[in-house]
Amino acid sequence: MGIVSLITGKAGPSGFGSASTAEQVTEGIDATNLTAIVTGGASGIGLETSRVLALCGAHVIIAARNLKAANEAKQIILKDNGAANIDVLKLDLCSMKSIREFANNFNALDLPLNMLINNAGIMFCPYQLSEDGIEIQFATNHLGHFHLTNLLLDKMKKTASDTGIEGRIVNLSSIAHIHTYEEGIRFDNINDRKGYSDKKAYGQSKLANILHANELSRRLKEEGANITANSVHPGLIMTNLFRYSGFVFKVLKVLTCLLWKNVPQGAATTCYVAVHPSLKGVTGKYFLDCNEMKPSAFARDEVLGKKLWDFSNKLVNSVEFRG
């Protein structure tokens, strides 16, 4: 899947490519009786992912910080599909307290959980710390999803065991994972302001998304759980993630216009990995344009992945203990 395929939309081994839309890659798939959580499902590719999974029959929980926007998104989906089964729950991924409250509220609904789509994210933010005192891009893009996934994992395991249906976890990463700090993850300087780069901090968080999925996949396989964990790069899509990027990226979009996708195309890889039957049992992989791709050397480093897992656990536990 090279640059020519990206520009032309030529299909890869999966039968899909960069021009494929979320509806096309899920055509004919029945997700009735399946439940999916989509973080950041109120806008952009998260909204399109929620819409298309609901179109397949899934019960979709939109997890979002802005409840007004999330409820507006619900109405957009219902206008398109009156039979859609959509619920909204509040989730602020840069707050450990909010994440735990979300997990408790979801579990109180006594629903199964078949799919967890870790979609929400922020990009190229000026330096700031989360309410828990952690660099905001690392906190939101990686650590929040790491904590959320761990809190929901028992529910996913029980659902998979009770139903015999494979559970699927999808982490949205980015090709930006290749543009990170020299050491990959700055374990000793995660909150360092002096050496902060908004671009490298974003790349670090997206590298962490892949390492998280890979290490989670390894652990789930070792345990024998019927759950897969994969990561995806949705492609270049102009969404509100670019609100911090300014003039330079607007110029870049003009210069690279042939490489950019629309939102239905941007949601395709997520939906493909979440529900397509051809990926049954496929885990610990990275996907681009609905086809498996090889990520960076850092992203394939199992030692780094295990170190990140332990580091993330310590960060979460330190925050929970303070709380």
Rounded distance, CA 7 to CA 72, Å? 34
What is the average pLDDT across 227-249?
Answer: 70
User: Does 232 have pLDDT greater than 60?
Assistant: yes
Q: Global pTM?
A: 0.92
Band (238; pLDDT cuts 50, 70, 90): low
Identify the CA nearest to 205 among candidates 248, 171, 163, 170: 171
**Is residue 3 pLDDT above 80, yes or no?**
no
Environment class of residue 206 by beta-carbon count within 10 Å: exposed (0-12), middle (13-18) or buried (19+)? buried
Tell me the per-residue pLDDT of 302-313, one tens digit each, with 9 for 90 and over: 999 999 999 999
pLDDT greater than 50 at residue 241:
no
Q: Concatenated DSSP letters for 12-66?
A: -TTS--TT--HHHHTTT---TT-EEEEETTTSHHHHHHHHHHHHTT-EEEEEES-
Residue count of the chain, please give it. Answer: 323
The full set of domain ranges for the chain reads 3-321
The residues annotated as belonging to the active site are 196
Mean pLDDT value of segment 228-244: 74
Of 68-77, 136-145, 230-239, which range is least confident? Answer: 230-239
Q: List all residues 6 or more positions away from 69 whose beta carbon is below 8 Å from its beta carbon.
A: 42, 43
Class in CATH terms, 3-321 = alpha beta
Confidence (pLDDT) at 237: 75
| pLDDT on residue 247 | 53
Please give the residue that has the higher pLDDT: either 1 or 100. Answer: 100
- Tally the C-alpha atoms within 13 A of residue 227's C-alpha that lie toward its C-beta: 32
When pLDDT is averaged across residues 86-106 and rounded to a whole number, the result is 98
Residue 244 has a pLDDT of 47
